[in-house]
Chain A
Amino acid sequence: MTAATPSRLPLRVTAAMYFRLFALQGSWNYETLLGTGIGFVMEPALRLLPGGIKGEAYRSALARESRYFNAHPYLAGVAVGALTRAELDGVDPVRIERFRTALAGPLGSVGDRLVWASWLPFCSLVAIGVYGAGGSALAVVGTFLLLYNAGHFLLRAWGLRIGLSRGLNVASALGNPVLRQGPDYIGRAAALMGGVALPLALQRIAGPGRALAGGIIGAALIGILLLARLRERAEGWRIALGVLAVFVLYSVLT
Chain B
Amino acid sequence: MSLAEALPIGLLGALLGLDVVSFPQAMISRPIVAATLAGAFIGNPAAGLLIGVVLEMIALDTLPFGASRYPEWGSASVVGGSLFAAQAPSMPGALPATLLAALLTASISGWSMVVLRRTIALRLERVRDRLEDGSRDSLLSLHLTGMSLDLLRGALVTITAMLIFSPLVRAIVAVWGSESAASRAVVVVIAAIVAGGALWKVFHSVRHILWFFLAGLLVWSATLVMNQ
Tell whether A and B belong to one assembly: yes
If A187-B203, A192-B215 touch, whether A73 touches B25 (CB-CB below 8 Å) is yes
Whether B209 sits at the interface, judged by CB under 8 Å, is: yes
Q: Is the CB of A25 within 8 A of B22?
A: yes
If A32-B124, A196-B219 touch, whether A40 touches B30 (CB-CB below 8 Å) is no
Minimal beta-carbon separation of B194 from chain A (angstroms): 4
8 A Cβ contacts from B165-203 to A: 172, 175-178, 181, 183-203
- Please give, as numbers and ranges, the residues of chain B lying within 8 Å of A26 by CB-CB distance: 22-23, 143-144, 146-147, 150
Minimal beta-carbon separation of B128 from chain A (angstroms): 9
Whether B216 sits at the interface, judged by CB under 8 Å, is: yes
Minimal beta-carbon separation of B44 from chain A (angstroms): 10
Minimal beta-carbon separation of B23 from chain A (angstroms): 4
Interface magnitude class on chain A: 35 or more
Minimal beta-carbon separation of B170 from chain A (angstroms): 13
Minimal beta-carbon separation of B77 from chain A (angstroms): 12
If A205-B50, A244-B96 touch, whether A237 touches B189 (CB-CB below 8 Å) is no
Q: How many of chain B's residues have a CB under 8 angstroms from any CB in A?
A: 108
- Please give, as numbers and ranges, the residues of chain A lying within 8 Å of B82 by CB-CB distance: none
Q: Is the CB of A240 within 8 A of B194?
A: yes
Whether B3 sits at the interface, judged by CB under 8 Å, is: no
- Please give, as numbers and ranges, the residues of chain B lying within 8 Å of A48 by CB-CB distance: none
Q: Is the CB of B60 within 8 A of A121?
A: yes
Minimal beta-carbon separation of B149 from chain A (angstroms): 10
Across the interface, B26 reaches (CB within 8 A) one of A63, A149, A199, A247, namely: A149
Q: Is the CB of B136 within 8 A of A43?
A: yes
If A137-B39, A191-B199, A248-B97 touch, whether A227 touches B30 (CB-CB below 8 Å) is no
Across the interface, A127 reaches (CB within 8 A) one of B24, B50, B56, namely: B56
Whether A77 sits at the interface, judged by CB under 8 Å, is: no
- Please give, as numbers and ranges, the residues of chain A lying within 8 Å of B103 by CB-CB distance: 237, 240-241, 244
Query: Please, which residue of chain B has its CB at the minimum distance from the CB of A222?
Result: B193
Which of A90-98, A112-120, A172-180 faces chain B?
A112-120
Q: List 19 A-B contacts (CB under 8 A).
A: A26-B146, A62-B135, A63-B131, A116-B64, A116-B65, A127-B32, A188-B206, A190-B203, A191-B212, A192-B216, A195-B218, A196-B216, A199-B220, A201-B57, A220-B193, A235-B61, A236-B58, A237-B58, A244-B187
